[in-house]
Amino acid sequence: MLHRSPFFFLALGCLLVSPVGEVVAQSDNLSPTNQVSNVRQMKLWSSKVPGQAAEKKREIKSGIDPRIGEKVTEVTQPMISIYSPPKDLNNGAAVVICPGGGYHILAYDLEGTEVARWLNSIGVTGVVLHYRVPRAKGRPKHELPLMDLQRAISVVRFSSKELGIDAKRIGVLGFSAGGHLAAMGSTAYKERSYQAVDDMDNVSIRPDFTVLVYPAYLNQEKEAFQLSSEFNVNDKTPPAILIHTSDDPVSSLGSIAYYSHLKKAKVPAELHVFPDGGHGYGLRPSSKAVSGWPKLVHRWLKTQSIIE
């Protein structure tokens, strides 16, 4: 089992301190296009982690799963890993990525690092979020992760100039339970779910766009066609694109319900429901048509003028 301290990084790199936040490690990784991606990690909370006992040890535990790659089993030190594209490719857009895992684990490679490298290949900065798992007992499943997501958006937006990012083109992308978290972040942005801790919390926490890939927990259990009451969709909700399959055990009706509410609110939205492909495929290629979703998202980002 990998046992990660706050200063652990996946590849050899140098420790450094930056005025934009507490950068704990930096290194270079290769993207799928063989372009070099600069990767940095930043702790989200420099002092007390909200909703967490002060005496609790702050760490990240993970192991290797033969299918999903790195599988994070516990997060008590929420962090972001920032994958920046080469400067000559960088178009200024950024995406905070929420891996799935039922709020029990994080499919960190399958739905995190691999996605960040794909985003780099189209000139977008990928920010992989280590939000808190497993679920906290006696609390709503998303309560602590939402704090981490909102803080991550704040940190990225506050640090946008330093990171080569346009502060008005920061979106969220989530898979499965991470899709639920991304949808929560897209609809619950009027108030922070934690008390502001520093100047980074003076910026907006509203994502500028949303990408949901086989999102979970969007609809009501007894009324599958109805959107969960957790979500407040209105005309200020960010534009979204949703990807799902009909044979997904996590029903596509949740995506349909979210799309329906966006349409009623006259928010730009796009929905793709493919016949088959199941659940948990990330962006790995297959014979299924759904594996072409990255091209659809790339085109949608262009039609929304998020990238050129």
DSSP for 80-126, please give it: EEEEEPPTTT--S-EEEEE--STTT-EETIIIIIHHHHHHHHTT-EE
Helix (H, G, I), strand (E, B), or coil: what is residue 275? coil
Nearest 5°: CA angle at 270, between 264 and 272?
A: 120
Task: Determine the Cα–Cα distance for residues 141 and 170; give it in Å rounded to an integer.
Answer: 25
Return the pLDDT at 31. Answer: 36
Q: In the structure, what pLDDT confidence band is assigned to residue 299 with cuts at 50, 70 and 90? A: very high
Q: Are strands 240-245 and 269-274 parallel, antiparallel or unpaired?
A: parallel
Which of 74, 68, 67 lies closest to 4 in space, CA to CA? Answer: 74
Measured from the Cβ of residue 60, the count of other Cβ atoms closer than 10 Å reads 22
Fold observed for domain 2-303 = Rossmann fold (3.40.50)
For residue 20, the Cα-to-chain-centroid distance in whole angstroms is 20
Which of 38, 46, 59 lies closest to 20 in space, CA to CA? Answer: 46
Q: What is the mean pLDDT of residues 169-188?
A: 98
For the record, the structure tokens of 275 come out as: 């016949």
Return the pLDDT at 37. Answer: 60
Start-to-end Cα distance in the chain: 42
Percent of the chain with pLDDT over 70: 88
Task: Determine the Cα–Cα distance for residues 180 and 305; give it in Å rounded to an integer.
Answer: 25
Return the pLDDT at 27. Answer: 42
Q: What's the chain's average pLDDT? A: 90
Task: Determine the Cα–Cα distance for residues 178 and 131; give it in Å rounded to an integer.
Answer: 9
Return the pLDDT at 20. Answer: 36
- H/E segment holding residue 184: helix 177-187
Helix (H, G, I), strand (E, B), or coil: what is residue 14? strand
Q: Are 226 and 220 in contact (CB under 8 A)?
A: yes
Q: What is the mean pLDDT of residues 269-274?
A: 98
pLDDT single digits (tens) 59-92? 999 999 999 999 999 999 999 999 999 999 999 9
For residue 92, the Cα-to-chain-centroid distance in whole angstroms is 17
Bridge partners for 270 per DSSP: 241
Secondary structure string (H, E, C) spanning 145-169: HHHHHHHHHHHHHHCHHHHCCCCCC
pLDDT single digits (tens) 132-159? 999 999 999 999 999 999 999 999 999 9
Chain length of the chain: 308
Q: Are strands 60-65 and 69-75 parallel, antiparallel or unpaired?
A: antiparallel
For residue 233, the Cα-to-chain-centroid distance in whole angstroms is 19
* pTM of structure: 0.90
Where exactly are the structural domains of the chain? 2-303
Return the pLDDT at 46. Answer: 87
pLDDT single digits (tens) 16-57? 323 334 544 444 433 343 344 689 999 999 889 999 999 999
